[in-house]
Amino acid sequence: MLLNLLKDDGAALSHADTHRTQRMARCFKLLQFLNRGHDQAGAAHPQRMPQCNCPPLAIDARGIILHPGCTITGVTGDDNAKDVALSDGTTISADTLMVATGRKPMTDGLGLEAVGIETDQSGAIPVDENSMTPVPSIYAIGDVTNRINLTPVAIAEGHVFADTIYGGMARLMDHRNVPSAVFSQPPIGSVGLTEEQARQDGFDPVIYASSFRAMKNTISGREEKTVMKLVVDQSSNKVIGAHMLGPDAPEIMQGLAIAIKAGATKADFDATMLS
Ligand SMILES: Cc1cc2nc3c(=O)[nH]c(=O)nc-3n(C[C@H](O)[C@H](O)[C@H](O)COP(=O)(O)OP(=O)(O)OC[C@H]3O[C@@H](n4cnc5c(N)ncnc54)[C@H](O)[C@@H]3O)c2cc1C
């Protein structure tokens, strides 16, 4: 959403599936997503989660074969059969190919250039911590700024903007500890820093990781495991990241987000009885 504070500038800126056969069980986009913003615990591969020492069963048990770091380089075939060439030199024969293209800010045609706002390569409108663009009278919030592209974030950014500019209650948007999810099967939920991000941010993180079979999988004999990982700041004992791959992970992480936002320590987590 673009918010134009000028009334008469003339710039025309207004408020602005799947695995059909055994031959096809590939999930490219999920991997790209994991590689981008989620803790590698979710990737469920021993080499990507050494602390957990867990078998690669969480996603693989579903028959999904991941190809980390690969892109599709070519597709040949017809409506009934396709050969999909990958950048690692392998070829997948499949009935169906599904491509998830991702999203980018749709800012073309808004007249931004006319008012001196240059978007970045993705089309995102640059803003500062107050959501102000380089043109001081023009603010931008939500997906067009390509910060954290989620509904509650866009709403919160708008709320902060309104409070600050119109409500006389100046405050800044806090983009930390926003939980996010990949609605894959099994799903992934995440909040706070990944292990890698924690190190980059100067923390000396202690990692608590676990993998286990949920009771329903134990009883039914399914091998699929749930994977969980906590990232804890060694000096303060605060939990600064939580990551989960397994049933209901998104909802569980939404609840944990409150504890992490409130600064709960690993001791607080340990002292909490769960049934
Ligand atoms: C398939 C999908 C699933 C998603 N699932 C989730 C989810 O589970 N949880 C979650 O939190 N988020 C989810 N999102 C993201 C969420 O939808 C966005 O982050 C959120 O809608 C951003 O709000 P926004 O106001 O910035 O943009 P939008 O909601 O896109 O609103 C922008 C509005 O501007 C209008 N517009 C565009 N150009 C012009 C113009 N020139 N003039 C006037 N109006 C214009 C559009 O029509 C639209 O109404 C999902 C998104 C997609 C695509």
Tokens coding 114? 């006319």
Band the pLDDT of 55: cuts 50, 70, 90.
very low
Q: Is any ligand 1 atom within 6 A of the Cβ of residue 152?
A: yes
DSSP H helical segments within 143-265, as ranges?
151-165, 195-200, 215-220, 249-261
pLDDT at residue 210 greater than cutoff 80: yes
DSSP H helical segments within 151-238, as ranges?
151-165, 195-200, 215-220
Q: Is any ligand 1 atom within 6 A of the Cβ of residue 1?
A: yes
Please name the residue whose Cα sits nearest to atom 38 of ligand 1: 16
For residue 36, what are the contacts with CB-CB under 8 A and spacing of at least 6?
none
Band the pLDDT of 274: cuts 50, 70, 90.
confident
Query: Are 182 and 249 contacting, i.e. CB atoms less than 8 angstroms apart?
Result: no
Please name the residue whose Cα sits nearest to atom 45 of ligand 1: 16
Supply the pTM of this predicted model: 0.78
Average pLDDT (75-90) is 93
Nearest-CA neighbor of 233 among 262, 193, 263, 203?
A: 203
Please name the residue whose Cα sits nearest to atom 44 of ligand 1: 16
The more confidently predicted of residues 167 and 5 is 167
Q: Is any ligand 1 atom within 6 A of the Cβ of residue 102?
A: no
C-alpha 254 to ligand 1 mean position (Å): 21
Closest ligand 1 atom to 143 CA:
26
Pocket test for ligand 1, best of 151, 159, 161 (most atoms within 8 A of CB): 151
pLDDT at residue 26 greater than cutoff 90: no
C-alpha 129 to ligand 1 mean position (Å): 21
Q: Is any ligand 1 atom within 6 A of the Cβ of residue 151?
A: yes
Q: How far is CA 150 from the centre of its chain?
A: 10
C-alpha 22 to ligand 1 mean position (Å): 36
Band the pLDDT of 158: cuts 50, 70, 90.
very high
Residue 168 CB-density burial (10 A; 0-12 exposed, 13-18 middle, 19+ buried): exposed
Please name the residue whose Cα sits nearest to atom 34 of ligand 1: 16
The most distant pair of C-alpha atoms in the chain lies apart, rounded to whole Å, by: 68
Closest ligand 1 atom to 181 CA:
8
For residue 60, what are the contacts with CB-CB under 8 A and spacing of at least 6?
44, 66
pLDDT at residue 33 greater than cutoff 50: no
pLDDT at residue 41 greater than cutoff 90: no
Closest ligand 1 atom to 109 CA:
41
For residue 197, which amino acid is it? Q
pLDDT at residue 136 greater than cutoff 70: yes
C-alpha 142 to ligand 1 mean position (Å): 8
pLDDT at residue 3 greater than cutoff 60: no
